[in-house]
Amino acid sequence: MMKRIDNIVIGELVEGVTLEMLGVCDDEVTIHISEDDAREANFFLPRLLVDAGVFTNTSEVRRIQKDRTKMGRLSDDERILWRELKDPELTKFKVGKKLFWLIAGEFTV
Task: Give tens-digit pLDDT for 68-103.
Answer: 888 766 656 557 899 999 999 999 888 888 899 999
Residues 81 and 29: their CA atoms lie apart, in Å, by 21
pLDDT of residue 94: 86
Q: How many residues does the chain have?
A: 109
SS3 content of the chain, % helix, strand, coil (to 5): 30, 25, 50
Q: What is the pTM of this model?
A: 0.86
Residues 29 and 9: their CA atoms lie apart, in Å, by 11
CB atoms closer than 10 angstroms to residue 24: 16
**E-assigned strand segments in 1-109:** 7-10, 30-33, 89-95, 98-104
Mean pLDDT across the chain: 88
Q: Using alpha carbons, select from 6, 11, 9 the residue that is nearest to residue 19.
A: 9
Q: Does pLDDT of 44 surpass 70?
A: yes
